[in-house]
Amino acid sequence: MPIALASLPTTQTAALPDATELDELLPVLAADSLPRLIVLGEDAGLATVLTHLLRTERLGVEIGYVPVDRTYGSRAYQTGTGSSAAKRALEGKPTPTPLIRDDTGKVLVGRATITGPNGGKLEGEAYVDDVRLFTGKVGALNVSPTLDMPGVRATVVRGLRKRRWVAGRAVQLGSPGALVTRDGISGDRTVPRSSFYRHHEPWLLVR
């Protein structure tokens, strides 16, 4: 744990905290006039916390993020890592930040990678807003949040070609079978559709 956080009250949770663990924290935060929760962990852990706040309508809680190592999320949100991220989480100001969720209600923090079954080529058609990303077969589709509006961006993996990111409010995919991996956590089955989009309410990132 970074030294800057050592004197603060802490709660140990699983890497992916469950609803019970988070529900025990929320009353403590609610008692504070300016609640701030600092998440020390990885993108999937922060995504779990934000998903719970989204589902319980508590997006007014200020969130600091302290990843130990660089992650897709730390790059997207420019949080830094370790002690520098801890300092920012303590001393920074809450900034309304686009909240990216998918059609299952789960929040995306760093990156989603969508492939075909068993990691094979992805077949289908995908759009960012009205811009068609691809139709046919590609290696994979990558989706990431952005720090500022419009909120989400996507790119197609095609061999060694340079990747072109397209930003928008929503990314939508239709496919005979797509396997979605969100922040390193793979889905348990293929799906015919997947979408990621900016929620109507932002989250409060301390930075």
Same domain membership, residue 88 and residue 149: no
Between 35 and 193, name the one with better pLDDT: 193
Which among 99, 130, 156 is the end of a domain? 99
Give the single-character DSSP code of 162. P
Q: What is the pLDDT of residues 70-97, one digit of tens each?
A: 999 999 999 999 999 999 999 999 999 9
24: left (phi over 0), alpha (psi -120 to 50) or beta: alpha
Query: Does a structural domain hold residue 133?
Result: yes
Domain span at residue 158 reads 112-199
Same domain membership, residue 125 and residue 78: no
Number of other CB atoms surrounding residue 120 within 10 Å: 13
Query: Does a structural domain hold residue 204?
Result: no
Which among 34, 69, 99 is the end of a domain? 99
Q: What is the pLDDT of residues 145-157, one digit of tens each?
A: 999 999 999 999 9
Same domain membership, residue 87 and residue 15: yes
Q: How far apart are CA 62 and CA 49, in angstroms?
A: 12
Residue 114's nearest CA partner among 100, 102, 98, 130 is 102
Same domain membership, residue 88 and residue 12: yes
Query: Does a structural domain hold residue 205?
Result: no
CB 79 within 8 A of CB 67: yes
Q: How far apart are CA 110 and CA 182, in angstroms?
A: 8
Same domain membership, residue 60 and residue 133: no
Query: Does a structural domain hold residue 206?
Result: no
**Integer angstrom CA distances of residue 88 from 80, 98, 204:** 8, 19, 13
**Tell me, what's the pLDDT at 178?**
98
Which among 50, 66, 99 is the end of a domain? 99
Q: What is the pLDDT of residues 98-145, one digit of tens each?
A: 999 999 999 999 999 999 999 999 999 999 999 999 999 999 999 999
The residue whose two tokens read 């390193």 is: 184
Query: Does a structural domain hold residue 68?
Result: yes
Q: How many domains does the chain have?
A: 2
- Token readout for 15 is 């890497």
Residue 202 has pLDDT above 80, yes or no: yes
Same domain membership, residue 132 and residue 63: no
Same domain membership, residue 85 and residue 143: no
Q: Is 0.75 surpassed by the pTM of this model?
A: yes
**Tell me, what's the pLDDT at 45?**
96
Same domain membership, residue 151 and residue 82: no
Query: Does a structural domain hold residue 106?
Result: no
